[in-house]
């Protein structure tokens, strides 16, 4: 006998109609990322990509996955959702390119308390923007409502990217040697790390996030939501120009300098970095001063104005920096490599 109480998916909190509307809204954004190799139309059970690997002797697949973390809370507070997708792409592709790989595909996963189609479109438009910046195709993804698990206004986003590098061209740090120069590539700001601490320090100021701040030259909200720099195209260009002289690359992401710089170093090599050579960014000074955060903790949490560190042959350092400048990326000679226990010496 049927239960007299009628139930439906909609009554459980999942709006299928909103899901259909979201799909239609995001289709043009997805199509805008397509590159040679994309097969089939969006909406199937899998995304298809046929890579052209004929130029590689021994192709190696490189993958990366990550999310945006609690920076999302700032986007929700500001009700500004069109750049958070750029951060999601950046967090994945900036890792992949560190070994010299070219990211070719991206997929995203968006979990929401409630599917609001206009907001979903803005989020995915940001993902598409990031994919275009990185030169990779958005070939699929998933949007899921989680009623009862997440408040209606909340969402979380994560991404996955894959790319290829020729085996003999992998940059894994083994070539780093004493005397190599360490070059830093400028960041756009906080990128997408340390936001649990950022929100704690600025918890009072976030109530007036739209108030112009003279020290920043913009509002606090605008500074905190500034998208992560995507380094893929400039890095690949320079790698192709200088090849074997690019010995190691480190993405200065979660864990700051102390965790990430050693990841590009082999045993027996230590990096000596002079933070006084960094570009000075007001947001980091504000954080340290207001939060009374010790310098070592700052460099162990944030990028401090340097989004990537690169170990290169000393005699090529100036030419490498000139090439980055030509690609629109500011760079600075911030240190060198020397013999010693694998790790980092940082002066400020």
CA distance 100 to 98: 6
Tokens (6 digits) for 102 = 């070219």
* CB of 312 closer than 8 Å to CB of 246: yes
For the chain (length 348 residues), average pLDDT per consecutive 10?
Answer: 58 75 89 92 84 96 97 95 98 98 98 95 98 97 92 96 98 97 98 96 89 92 97 98 97 96 98 94 96 97 98 98 97 98 96
Alpha helix ranges (H) inside the chain: 16-31, 71-78, 84-96, 117-134, 195-201, 220-224, 232-242, 256-260, 282-291, 295-299, 317-326
User: Where along the chain do the CATH 3.30.1330.10 domains lie?
Assistant: 16-169
pLDDT of residue 2: 47
Domain 16-169 annotated CATH 1.20.140.10: no
Q: Could you tell me where in the chain the CATH 3.90.650.10 domains are found?
A: 181-347
Q: Which residues, other chains included, contact 16 with Cβ-Cβ below 8 Å and sequence gap of 6+?
A: 9, 10
User: Cα(311)–Cα(181) distance, rounded to whole angstroms?
Assistant: 6
CATH superfamily of 181-347: PurM-like C-terminal domain (3.90.650.10)
Q: What is the pLDDT of residue 7?
A: 64
Is residue 151 within 8 A of residue 299, CB to CB? The reply is: no
pLDDT at 20: 77
From the number of C-beta atoms within 10 Å of its C-beta (0-12, 13-18, 19+), residue 174 rates as middle
């Amino acid at each position: 006998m049927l239960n007299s109480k009628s139930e439906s998916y909609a009554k459980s909190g999942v709006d299928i109609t909103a899901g259909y509307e979201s799909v239609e809204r995001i289709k043009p954004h997805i199509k805008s990322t397509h590159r040679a190799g994309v097969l089939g139309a969006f909406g199937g059970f899998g995304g298809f990509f046929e890579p052209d690997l004929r130029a590689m002797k021994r192709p190696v697949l490189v993958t990366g996955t990550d999310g945006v973390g609690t920076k999302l809370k700032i986007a929700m507070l500001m009700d500004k959702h069109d750049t958070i997708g750029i951060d999601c792409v950046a967090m994945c592709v900036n890792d992949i390119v560190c070994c010299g790989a070219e990211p070719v595909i991206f997929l995203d996963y968006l979990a929401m308390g409630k599917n609001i189609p206009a907001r979903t479109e803005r989020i995915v438009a940001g993902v598409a923007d990031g994919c275009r910046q990185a030169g990779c195709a958005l070939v699929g993804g998933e949007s899921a409502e989680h009623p009862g698990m997440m408040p209606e206004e909340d969402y979380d986003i994560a991404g996955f990217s894959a790319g290829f590098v020729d085996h003999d061209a992998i940059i894994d740090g083994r070539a780093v040697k004493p005397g190599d120069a360490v070059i830093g590539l400028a960041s756009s700001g906080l990128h997408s790390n340390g936001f649990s601490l950022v929100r704690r320090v600025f918890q009072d100021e976030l109530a007036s996030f739209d108030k112009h701040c003279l020290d920043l030259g913009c509002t606090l909200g605008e500074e905190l939501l500034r998208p992560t720099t995507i380094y893929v195209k400039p890095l690949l260009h320079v790698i192709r120009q200088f090849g074997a002289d690019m010995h190691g690359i480190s993405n200065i992401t979660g864990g700051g300098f102390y965790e990430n710089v050693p990841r590009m170093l082999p045993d027996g090599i230590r990096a000596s970095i002079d933070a006084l050579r960094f570009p000075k960014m007001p947001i980091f000074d504000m954080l340290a001063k207001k939060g009374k955060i010790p310098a070592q903790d700052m460099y162990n949490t944030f990028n401090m104005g340097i989004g990537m560190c690169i170990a290169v042959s000393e005699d090529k350092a100036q030419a490498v920096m000139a090439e980055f400048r030509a690609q629109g990326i500011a760079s600075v000679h911030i240190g060198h490599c020397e013999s010693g226990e694998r790790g980092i010496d940082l002066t400020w």
